[in-house]
Amino acid sequence: MLGMAARVIREARPRRGFGGTMAQDGSRKVYVKSYGCQMNVYDAQRMADVLAPEGFSETTEMADADLVVLNTCHIREKAAEKVYSELGRVREMRRDREAAGGAMQVVVAGCVAQAEGGEILRRAKGVDLVVGPQSYHRLPALLDAARVRPVVDTDFPADSKFDALPQPRPERTRQRGVSAFVTVQEGCDKFCTFCVVPYTRGAEVSRPVTAILAEVERLVAAGVREVSLLGQNVNAYHGEGPDGAAWTLPRLMRRLAETPGLARIRYTTSHPGDMDDDLIALHGDLPAAMPYLHLPVQSGSDAILAAMNRRHGRDEYLRIIERVRAVRPDIALSSDFIVGFPGETDADFRDTMALIAEVGFAAAYSFKYSPRPGTPAADNVAQIPEDVKTARLHELQALLDRQLRAFNAATVGRTVDVLVEKPGKHPGQMVGKSPYLQAVAFEGRGAQAGDIVPVRIGGLGNFSLLGERADIEPDRESA
Ligand code: 5AD
Ligand code: SF4
């Protein structure tokens, strides 16, 4: 997760490695750099799990790596272009290693790999393997083949990668922390006119309930206390249940909540069109469901929503928010916004600003519209000039930034349950997350990763809320 301030206004930043390093002497080392969404973070972990039995351990230093994997994002042009500049840097590293008698294999994975395939080999020298997100279970065989000549695998194989991906050892899971991602659904059938996802990740596929339960039970047995269920359209989940029926996301969440030791469940990303009654109700009656909802609206203008093929209007969105707030008044709301979609007038933009003002968001991601080749909106003649997009983005982010600050400021003076994640920067300090996904730093005083402790929020730091444990008397402890 990005820091709180960054979550509001920045485009997704690259995440380095897997969050932890493990250098086993004598083993080969893999360095993975993930860009874009949380699903890529999950995929990066699963790639490491496939490679672990092959003798690969993870490193956070590219220069030490026998294998470099760039796990790419294709959602906007800027994200996609980053790969090519990074590949230039990788090529230099590879040259240095080879000059010193070593070797380095280079893999481009993720959505750029899926979308551009062999074009990557033509544009960038020194790539051994281009592999799409559906083929990670074949990595060892593909790497072997790529020793002879460069390989491209962007198939959508009939066998599910999920069935074929090995599970990590419990120690590896523990190293990754107390909060885990679990992809439950991939792909998208919605075809918003700006979006490449239906093309890069393909049609909606939901994992079967039993496979998800088994994965979550294994995670919890290794110490995980919180799972975030991931899907490009996670609330359209309709995986096969043990009874043969298609289960919805709320049904899956209610079943997962019965897992002893699992304290928190989150889900992302949702589409307003799939916010059904049961999912809304669950926010009011399932304690494990965290009071946080990421529900992208993209625009507050009905005309733009229609042009985006979002399949809902502004009022429909506002009604959903009203209903969620009726069952869970304190819920933290988050959204994605696109400014400068083709044809967006000043009045359309004002509608978006008014919607933001009406809802009040705790977090948001906002972007300038980026034309993606092959999507309908890219061919629209009414493209918006860059300087207009920039001005709108700044104005919108300033408002969202104020709302985020207000949301955090409103937590000051309250006591919130914090899921403890790890030691903080200062001696004795621990950091974790509030139910609203705010980072919280506090004097640990015996709190361990995985504990859930009440913390009285006393103030706001740069990247986290600052507080004191509310379950220990300060005076008696320090005496
Ligand atoms: N341009 C700008 N933003 C985009 N997104 C998706 N496609 C584009 C695009 N072409 C944003 C949407 C989506 C988020 C993941 O990325 O806001 O919800
Ligand atoms: Fe893209 Fe729309 Fe599908 Fe989200 S719902 S992944 S924005 S096409």
pLDDT for 62-73, tens place per residue? Answer: 999 999 999 999
Choice among 36-40, 217-221, 349-353, 376-380 with the minimum mean pLDDT? 36-40
Residue 339 alpha carbon to ligand 1 centre in Å = 10
Domains of the chain, earliest start first? 5-153 (3.40.50.12160), 167-281 (3.30.750.210), 291-409 (3.30.750.200), 415-469 (2.40.50.140)
Distance of CA 121 to the CA centre of its chain: 28
The answer to whether residue 198 scores a pLDDT higher than 90 is yes
Phi, psi dihedrals of residue 105, rounded to the nearest 5°: -100, 145
- Identify the bridge partners of residue 416 per DSSP, sorted by sequence position: 455
Residue 18 reports pLDDT greater than 60: no
Taking the CA of 79 as reference, the closest ligand is 1
How far is 372 from 367, CA to CA, in rounded Å? Answer: 13
CA end-to-end span of the chain, whole Å? 37
129-131 vs 67-72, strand pairing mode: unpaired
Q: Which residues pair with 368 in a beta bridge?
A: 339
User: What tokens does 20 get?
Assistant: 């932890």
**Residue 197 beta carbon below 6 angstroms from any ligand 2 atom:** yes
Position with higher pLDDT, 451 vs 171:
451
- What pTM value is reported for the model? 0.91
> What is the mean pLDDT of the segment spanning 364-383?
96
Cβ atoms of residues 446 and 459 within 8 Å: no
Residue 23 pLDDT more than 80? no
pLDDT at 4 (0 to 100): 34
Q: Is pLDDT at 95 greater than 80 in this prediction?
A: yes
Q: Which two tokens stand for residue 129?
A: 């393997």
H/E element, 145: helix 139-146
Q: pLDDT band at 158, cuts 50/70/90?
A: low
Q: How far is the CA of 237 from the centre of ligand 2 (A)?
A: 14
Name the binding residues for [4Fe-4S] cluster: 37, 73, 111, 188, 192, 195
311 lines ligand 2 (CB under 6 A): no
Burial of 326: CB neighbours in 10 Å, binned 0-12, 13-18, 19+: exposed
* pLDDT, the chain, mean: 91
Rounded to the nearest angstrom, the distance between the alpha carbon of 191 and the centre of ligand 1 is 12
Distance 233 CA to ligand 2 centre (A): 7
Take residue 95 and report the two structure tokens written for it. 């040259």
In sequence order, what are the residues at sequence separation of 6 or more whose Cβ sits closer than 8 angstroms to the Cβ of residue 149? Answer: none
Rounded-to-integer distance, Cα 97 and Cα 84, Å: 20
Among the listed ranges 198-202, 249-253, 359-363, which one has the minimum average pLDDT value?
198-202
The residue whose CA has the least distance to atom 17 of ligand 1 is: 336
Nearest atom, ligand 2, residue 269 CA: 4
Could you give the CA distance from residue 28 to residue 457 in angstroms, rounded to a whole number? 45
If pLDDT is split at 50, 70 and 90, which confidence band does 10 have?
very low
- Tokens at residue 194, please? 């700006």
By alpha-carbon position, which residue is closest to atom 7 of ligand 1?
195
Q: Is the pLDDT of residue 13 over 60?
A: no
Instruction: Answer whether 191 contacts ligand 2 (Cβ < 6 A).
Output: yes
Q: Which atom in ligand 2 lies closest to the alpha carbon of residue 195?
A: 1
Q: How would you class 428 by CB atoms within 10 Å of its CB: exposed for 0-12, middle for 13-18, buried for 19 or more?
A: exposed
Q: 370 CB under 6 A from ligand 1?
A: yes
- Count the Cβ atoms, other than its own, within 10 Å of residue 254: 18
Q: Which residues contact 464 (CB under 8 A, 6 or more apart)?
A: 3, 4, 431, 438, 439, 440, 441
Could you give the percent of the chain with pLDDT greater than 90? 85
Please work out whether the CB of residue 76 comes within 6 Å of at least one atom of ligand 2: no
Best mutation site among 73, 75, 111 for ligand 1 pocket (most ligand atoms within 8 Å of CB): 75
Please tell me the predicted confidence (pLDDT) of residue 165: 78
Ligand 1 centroid to Cα of residue 251, in Å, is 29
- At 214 the pLDDT is 96
Q: Is 8 in the pocket of ligand 2 (CB under 6 A)?
A: no
Ligand 1 centroid vs 10 CA: distance in angstroms? Answer: 13
- Residue pointed to by tokens 């790419």: 72
Confidence of residue 159 (pLDDT cuts 50, 70, 90): low
What percent of the chain clears pLDDT 70, i.e. is strictly above it?
Answer: 93
Please check the confidence at residue 15 and state whether its pLDDT lies above 50: no
* Probe target for ligand 1 pocket from 336, 366, 379, 393, with the most ligand atoms within 8 Å of CB: 336
Which stretches within 60-133 are classed as H helix? 77-99, 110-116, 119-123
Q: Taking 60 as the threshold, does the pLDDT of residue 477 lie above it?
A: no
User: Whose CA is closest to atom 14 on ligand 1?
Assistant: 336
Q: Closest ligand 2 atom to the C-alpha of 309?
A: 2
Overall average pLDDT of the 83-92 stretch: 94
Quick: pLDDT tens for 243-284: 999 999 999 999 999 999 999 999 999 999 999 999 999 999
Residue nearest to atom 2 of ligand 2 (CA): 192
pLDDT band at 233 (very low <50, low <70, confident <90, very high): very high
Name which residue sits closest to atom 5 of ligand 2, judged by CA.
190
262 lines ligand 1 (CB under 6 A): no
**DSSP assignments along 221-282, one per residue:** HTT--EEEEE-TTGGG--PBPTTSSBPPHHHHHHHHTTSTT--EEEEE---GGG--HHHHHH
If one compares 14 and 367, the residue with the highest pLDDT of the two is 367
pLDDT for 255: 98
The residue-averaged pLDDT of 202-208 equals 94
Out of 34-38, 290-294, 326-330, 367-371, pick the least confident: 34-38
> What is the SS3 assignment for 400?
helix
Per-residue pLDDT at 475: 53
**Does pLDDT of 21 surpass 50?**
no
Ligand 1 binding pocket includes 367 (Cβ within 6 Å): yes
